[in-house]
Amino acid sequence: MHREALRMNNVIQRRGGVNLLDHFDLHVFEGEVLGLFFTDNHGKEDLIRLLLRNTPIDYGSVRLRGAVVNSYRLPGESAGAGVSLVSRDELLIDEMTVAENVFVMRRGFRKYIIDASLLRAQFGRFAAEFGATVDGGMPARDLPFVDRLIVQMLKAVAQGSRLIIVKDTGFSPGSAEQIKLRQHVRRFADSGISFLYISGDTAELLDVCDRIAVAERGRVMSAVRKEAFGERDFGKYYFKPDQAPFASPGGHAGAALEFSGVCAGSLRDMSFSVAEGEGVLLWDRSDSAIEKIVRLLSGMEKPASGRILVGGAPLFRWTGARARVSIIRGTPMREMVFEDMSYLENLCFRAADRLPSLWRKGAFRRLVREEYAALVGGDIDLLPPLRLSDESLYSLVYLREHLYRPRLLVLVRPFLNTDIRLKMHILSLVRMIRDTGAALLILDSSVSDSSAIADRILDINDLGGSEGAGSLRGVGA
């Protein structure tokens, strides 16, 4: 095996008396792709900041290619040297060409007059070394998303990075995008570039990586060759012994939602349907159409042509309460909680649209309190509910809809920035709402987590003029 590209020895990093990283030990060899799976997200962002910026540590040391770059005795002086991040959040400059993003923005570039043809030729030769076929003269804004990640990797190497952190790509294992990214990661690794590949998708890690490390509560629990690691080993981090996999309530009859020939912005002749009680994942791999669909379903925008039916009736002839369409975005924010209302009032205000007498009859509210106190405990008496934990915040937002009983629940990127425990909590909340008979439409750019709550998966890029086109998985598959 080659020498080590990264060695973290017994690293402790604290903030406010809390260990963000707790005796964190990790090593990555040159030319290796090491997968890192966080069970709870504890310390994930702190680890990335540490490697990119050499943030101070309280104990231990960090070495890059054998040289100490950070230590509790001697804080690092070369922040970010040799380490780059590739992720959905890392931006290219859209107004510049691919070649300009890779070379003009690199450290030490001093040319004031740039020959575009020479720059493209230089980029072509450089990209060819890694098997990349991206057009260097293309504006960055026109790149498909997977190519943006590949260009980010090229830019990292051009800047001198020998360790690349890949974070949460969101590609579905087996998709064309994921296969293409894996092929390029392997080509970079074959040239000696090392990767720390961070993902919550176990299938992706098993497909791409040489070894896999598992981190929990800010500490690496294990790191083994992928041949010795399987999906069953990951299962203990997802499910409790008494927790059954998600199951559809079945008994679909009629359509809760129907798009028929809808045209709006980038949507062209979109047709699909969601049956009563069914769960459908609408997969937007390029993350370009989700917001348009949300605007249509929320009534903020009308389609240029086509029909949107809810329960067989045109959506825009129904008021919000009668249509009973609810939308929950991923990462519910504190502003979704009304600070001048109690927890119970926050819980009830949606249901009051259907039962105006709820506010007039104390007996109704007492019944609601008794039912939901069994689920949320002492939170039910908070006034106002200002200090909810993340788990309690999700509970309030989802249980509000459970009480409301929507006909259609729309979940927008429901597992965005959540750890394993929070994902499982959300799954249990979604089960409760599905058990009321609600249909479910999930809008997401990632299949890996959202597929657990879907009966069917539809690829938005394949939805043409026929209902059901692009179905990747049928009910019961």
> Tokens 């890192």 belong to which residue?
36
Locate the domains of the chain by residue range.
Answer: 4-92+143-238, 255-337+390-473, 338-387
pLDDT for 166 equals 96
Q: Which token pair is 68?
A: 């100490």
Assess contact for 56 and 69: CB atoms under 8 A.
no
Q: What angle do CA 223, 229, 230 make, to 5 degrees?
A: 145
Looking at the chain, the number of H-run helices and the number of E-run strands are: 13, 20
445-470 per-position pLDDT tens digit = 877 778 778 888 888 877 743 333 33
pLDDT for 368 equals 81
Omega of the bond prior to 406 within 30 degrees of 0, cis? no
Query: pLDDT-derived band of residue 116, with 50, 70 and 90 as boundaries?
Result: confident
Signed CA dihedral, 266, 272, 275, 281: sign only: negative
pLDDT for 356 equals 65
Q: What angle do CA 34, 241, 21 make, to 5 degrees?
A: 35
Amino acid, res. 351? A
- Report domain 255-337+390-473's class: alpha beta
Least confident of 182-186, 222-226, 342-346, 389-393: 222-226
Based on the number of CB atoms within 10 Å of its own CB, is 186 exposed (0-12), middle (13-18) or buried (19 or more)?
middle
pTM to 2 decimal places: 0.61
pLDDT for 5 equals 93
Assess contact for 174 and 167: CB atoms under 8 A.
no
Q: Which token pair is 23?
A: 């005796």
Q: Which token pair is 249?
A: 């309530």
Q: What CATH code would you report for 4-92+143-238? A: 3.40.50.300
Q: Which token pair is 397?
A: 């937002």
3-state secondary structure of 306: strand
Query: pLDDT-derived band of residue 412, with 50, 70 and 90 as boundaries?
Result: very high
* Most confidently predicted of 5-9, 299-303, 336-340: 5-9
pLDDT for 243 equals 39
pLDDT for 88 equals 80
Least confident of 211-215, 358-362, 376-380: 358-362
pLDDT for 257 equals 93
CA distance 58 to 38: 22
37-73 per-position pLDDT tens digit = 888 888 999 999 999 998 999 999 999 998 999 988 7
pLDDT for 58 equals 92
pLDDT for 1 equals 47
283-337 per-position pLDDT tens digit = 887 777 888 999 999 888 889 999 999 988 888 655 544 568 999 988 766 667 7
Domains 4-92+143-238 and 255-337+390-473 share a fold: yes
264-279 per-position pLDDT tens digit = 888 888 999 999 989 9
pLDDT at 163 over 90: yes
DSSP string, 315-375: GGGS-HHHHTEEEEESS--GGGS-TTS-HHHHHHTTGGGT-GGGTT-HHHHHHHHHHHHHH
CA distance 140 to 53: 26
Indicate the pairing of strand 456-459 with strand 471-473: antiparallel
pLDDT for 204 equals 84
